[in-house]
Amino acid sequence: MFTDSIKNGPQNATHRSLYHALGLTQEELSRPLVGIVNSYNEIVPGHMNIDKIVEAVKKGVLLAGGTPIEFPAIAVCDGIAMGHVGMKYSLVTRDLIADSTECMVMAHGFDALVMIPNCDKNVPGLLMAAARLNKPTVFVSGGPMLAGHVGDGKTSLSSMFEAVGKFNAGKITEEELEDYACKVCPTCGSCSGMYTANSMNCLTEALGMGLRGNGTIPAVYSRRLELAKHAGMAVMDMLNKGITALDIMTEKAFMNALTVDMALGCSTNSMLHLPAIAHECGIKLDLTIANNMSAKTPNLCHLAPAGRTYMEQLDEAGGVWAVMKELTKKGLINTDCMTVTGKTVGENLENVRNLDPETIRPVENPYSETGGIAVLRGNLAPDGAVVKRSAVVPEMLVHEGPARVFDSEEEAQAAINAGQINPGDVVVIRYEGPKGGPGMREMLNPTSAIMGMGLGSSVALITDGRFSGATRGACIGHVSPEAASGGMIGVVEEGDIISIDIPANKLELKVPEDVLAERMKNFVPKTKELSGYLKRYAAMVGSGASGAIINK
């Protein structure tokens, strides 16, 4: 055990004195020290229950002969941060979480780790840290919330944002809007659709870093506490067997995660996070792989916002493992990958069944023969742009229309609210990328306003920023290079015709080449006065096309 080198012997008596200051007994110090890094706080709904998960994990570690010691990680609620300057501070926390966790573990020398994230940037941030630290590590999330109910239908956070659009369009009253506000998020947990948090927690299972149900068991179910206890036991088993994070997060494991991503119809943010996590594992994950994977992977699930099923239904249907079992029928899953169970993927899936073919379509009857995410390229996005294809209505898969150009989310939102966007338009929001934002804001407000106003089947949005996992419609993000880095999106002018062909993976600005060349020659990107962490982040962050990785 690593901690033996800092716990035992006369030369480490000083260390022992500080362990005793914590109230640790000699018996506890004789066991492996297991770090329980968790993001409990009282501001993020997906994290307010994590203190209960922590206690359950500790019991599991104790039952299996370890000594659990917890320490915190920060977390931002993307929903609360949405639509104002706070969203600039969301993506940037991914690297803060990874860096601070690395510091805590290396400074205190834990033997193994259980990581307890839930929402958005915590999951990839802690996976990045797990890769750097390469210790026996198990993930167990706080779990998704249950779907809400307004009238006769189930709802989720995306329903709330779209309700605001309906209110602004005069389609519902203020009283009806408040009814949504009180009912769409009825419990603690990560929001109930296949948004970024649930996408990443599900993909943690696909990577092999979480036990079955990590991504799908609802936060309020007692099964979540049982799962947490088993996670504590599992990490001790990994320690005894010498299995570490990089034994699990291999190139084949990332191919499994991408495949499951396509089958589930995950958030487009997975195209930021998977490359960043892979980078920490020493693996290059290029966006071009996504289209190749999508071409051969059927889309089996349409969870909100793409459809009317929710995380609790995916859990009842058999969860992520049931999706993976369906994919094995086409040979799309690498079954020899090691997992935190101490068994291979193939061994884990032996007795798994799809319990609900409506929620998880069989591979013989998919929603589509291609995956839920597409990467588009063309003169407007030579390095790529990302769209959640499974959440685009059929009539918008191919679209051509005039550009409506805005240099910030706020400008675009004001125009949408004022009724200045017309059917057929292509809304362009730039200077919202990793460097230009900075922080690559999610823009659920404008996308939801478009949907709520009834323009979802006639208006497209493109941006060098990103969209929430709750976004649906022809919303194309991560346009790279971004405007702040001199990308073509920076020279789009009002009225330019933009052509979108999602099945063909094309995004083109239909302006003569000589005109574009002249515009690019004279183009000087706009800059912003920055201070604090955002100033450092903007100076160091790389392209969204490669995961917005900090250039170290």
pLDDT digits (tens, 9 = 90+) for 495-520: 999 999 999 999 999 999 999 999 99
Alpha-carbon span 22 to 515, nearest angstrom: 69
pLDDT digits (tens, 9 = 90+) for 435-469: 999 999 999 889 988 988 899 999 999 999 999 88
pLDDT at 165 over 90: no
Position 515, amino acid: V
Longest dimension (CA), the chain: 77
pLDDT digits (tens, 9 = 90+) for 383-411: 999 999 999 999 999 999 999 999 999 99
Annotated catalytic residue within 448, 468, 485, 546: 468
Region 254-262: mean pLDDT is: 97
C-alpha torsion sign, points 527, 438, 444, 466: positive
| Token couple for 331 | 């040979």
Nearest in space to 304 (alpha carbons), one of 472, 456, 166:
472
Better-scored residue on pLDDT, 162 or 480? 480
Q: How many CB atoms lie within 10 A of CB 99?
A: 15
pTM given for the model: 0.96
- What does pLDDT average to over the chain? 95
* Alpha carbon distances (Å) from 184 to 156, 278, 299: 5, 35, 27
Q: Which residues are 190's β-sheet partners?
A: 144
Nearest in space to 34 (alpha carbons), one of 63, 7, 70, 78:
70
* Alpha carbon distances (Å) from 164 to 159, 176, 192, 450: 9, 10, 19, 10
pLDDT digits (tens, 9 = 90+) for 59-84: 999 999 999 999 999 999 999 999 89
pLDDT tier for residue 235 given thresholds of 50, 70 and 90: very high
- Helix axis angle for 251-264 and 319-328, nearest 10°, is 100
| Exposed / middle / buried, residue 267 (Cβ in 10 Å: 0-12, 13-18, 19+) | buried
Better-scored residue on pLDDT, 241 or 3? 241
Locus of tokens 């659920």: 444
| Token couple for 40 | 């409990």
Region 177-196: mean pLDDT is: 96
Concatenating the DSSP letter of every residue in 7-26 gives HSSGGGHHHHHHHHHTT--H
45: alpha, beta or left? (left if phi > 0; alpha if psi -120 to 50): alpha
pLDDT at 132 over 70: yes
Task: Check if 499 is active-site.
Answer: no
pLDDT tier for residue 552 given thresholds of 50, 70 and 90: low
C-alpha torsion sign, points 520, 523, 529, 531: positive
pLDDT digits (tens, 9 = 90+) for 93-112: 999 999 999 999 999 999 99
pLDDT digits (tens, 9 = 90+) for 357-371: 999 999 999 999 999
pLDDT digits (tens, 9 = 90+) for 285-340: 988 788 999 999 999 999 999 899 999 999 999 999 999 999 999 999 999 999 99
Q: How many CB atoms lie within 10 A of CB 372?
A: 31
Q: Determine the pLDDT at residue 448.
A: 87
* Alpha carbon distances (Å) from 163 to 267, 445, 448, 452, 504: 21, 11, 8, 6, 33
Alpha-carbon span 389 to 367, nearest angstrom: 11
Give buried/exposed letters for 63-90 (b at 16+ CB in 10 A, else e): ebebbbbbebbebbbbbebbbeeebbbb
Share of the chain above pLDDT 90, in %: 90
Q: Determine the pLDDT at residue 468.
A: 86
Nearest in space to 271 (alpha carbons), one of 128, 161, 375:
375
Three-class DSSP category at 333: coil
CA 529 from centroid of its chain's CA atoms: 29
Region 198-203: mean pLDDT is: 98
Q: How many CB atoms lie within 10 A of CB 364?
A: 10
Share of the chain above pLDDT 70, in %: 100
Alpha-carbon span 243 to 220, nearest angstrom: 31
pLDDT at 4 over 90: no
pLDDT at 417 over 80: yes
pLDDT digits (tens, 9 = 90+) for 342-351: 999 999 999 9
pLDDT at 207 over 70: yes
Q: How many helices (H) and strands (E) does the chain have?
A: 22, 14
Alpha-carbon span 343 to 198, nearest angstrom: 24
Concatenating the DSSP letter of every residue in 339-394 gives -TTSSBHHHHHTT---S-TTTS--TTS-SBSS-S-EEEEETTEEEEEEE-GGGS-G
Beta-strand ranges (E) seen in 104-229 are 112-116, 137-139, 148-150, 153-155
| Exposed / middle / buried, residue 494 (Cβ in 10 Å: 0-12, 13-18, 19+) | exposed
Q: Determine the pLDDT at residue 168.
A: 85
